[in-house]
Amino acid sequence: MGLFDKFKKNNVKSIYKKCDGLIEQKEYEKALKCLDKALELNPKYVNVWNNKAVVLGKLGKHEEELNCYEKSLELNPKDADVWHNKGVTLYELERYEEALEAYNNALELDKTKLNALNNKGIILKELGRYEEALEAYNSALNLNPKYVNVWNNKAVVLEELGKHEEELNCYEKSLELNPKDADIWYNKGVTLYELERYEEALEAYNNALNLDKRNLRVLNNRSVILRKIGRYEEALKCLNEVLGMEPNKIEALGNKGITLNKLGRFQESLNCFNKLLKLNPNDKTGWHNKGLALKKLGKPEEALKCFDKALELDPEYEIAFKGKKEILEGKIE
């Protein structure tokens, strides 16, 4: 190696070190210029291509990020980490089949690469290949049964397959490993609701709220459970908490309207659905429930218009058709 080559090599290392510092400081644009300078001096410096890819990813420039990983793999096609990272980038670009191929290449080089197995499962789920996704997750859990994210992702696939008991088991495994995760308690509550185990679902939501008192989706779903078991005032209290934090939350407005209907407070119920439909005039459920409130208030003609609107939005909407039929047949409560 000549004197100039030694100088060039040392200079590239010095620039590369400077780039690392800029990345740590999140000075991504400056880091990018620095990395380009290093590549001018040595376009075969694999680590620089990889770091440039990372910086481009931080900047949301995924096509350019992908190009960097491809350059890196031209220089070193046996690097499982780079194949994995290429898969992540392709996933961001929603190029799922190519992402799957990248993860498979990573796993051919390293069968124990847990993040590649997990991400392969995510891709297969996106592609609707649920049984294959389960195989990927099971392979990961055989290598590391304490991998919480895999238990959660496996649960999502089992939900798609309608296997709620197995889904529940996954969330329970996950909670054994991480009992302080409000999201997992929430997901467990949803699963228990699907299984019609309402008291247990309520307990799961309570545990989630103990960890995150302002979790709107937990409060909303908790209200649904409370309504289901006839505890209407408690359900209403939950929904008022939600709407106190987010007054225009459509799902909570709808649930509040239904709950007020159960309590016989029909005008207040109607007010909820009026507000909901101002926010989303194409909500067929809102139109149906507004019709029910008007029917209870002894306004069948107005109720009929609401049922018609719901059926206009969805001609196959059976409960709206039933409501319309009852009014036409004179079955007014």
| Crossing angle (nearest 10°) for helices 250-262 and 284-296 | 20
For residues 251-262, give the mean pLDDT.
98
What is the span of the domain harbouring residue 44? Answer: 10-77
DSSP 151: H
Identify whether 60 is part of a domain.
yes
Total structural domains within the chain: 1
Looking at the chain, the whole-number percentage of residues with pLDDT higher than 70 is 96
What pLDDT, in 10s, does the model give residues 147-177?
A: 999 999 999 999 999 999 999 999 999 999 9
Residue 243 has pLDDT above 90, yes or no: yes
Q: How confident is the model at residue 18 (pLDDT cuts 50, 70, 90)?
A: confident
- The pLDDT value given to residue 1: 39
- The pLDDT value given to residue 6: 40
| Cβ neighbours around 239 below 10 Å, total | 29
Identify whether 135 is part of a domain.
no
Identify whether 331 is part of a domain.
no
pLDDT averaged over every residue in the chain: 94
**CA–CA gap between residue 40 and residue 328 (Å, rounded):** 80
Q: How confident is the model at residue 306 (pLDDT cuts 50, 70, 90)?
A: very high
Identify whether 193 is part of a domain.
no
Identify whether 39 is part of a domain.
yes
CATH of the domain at 14: 1.25.40.10
Identify whether 34 is part of a domain.
yes
pTM: 0.85
Sign of CA dihedral 46, 52, 57, 61: negative
Identify whether 43 is part of a domain.
yes
- The pLDDT value given to residue 127: 96
Residue 333 has pLDDT above 90, yes or no: no
Contact partners, residue 103, CB within 8 Å, separation at least 6: 83, 84, 87, 116, 119, 120, 123
189: phi then psi, degrees, rounded to nearest 5: -60, -40
For residues 217-232, give the mean pLDDT.
97
Identify whether 89 is part of a domain.
no
Contact partners, residue 115, CB within 8 Å, separation at least 6: 84
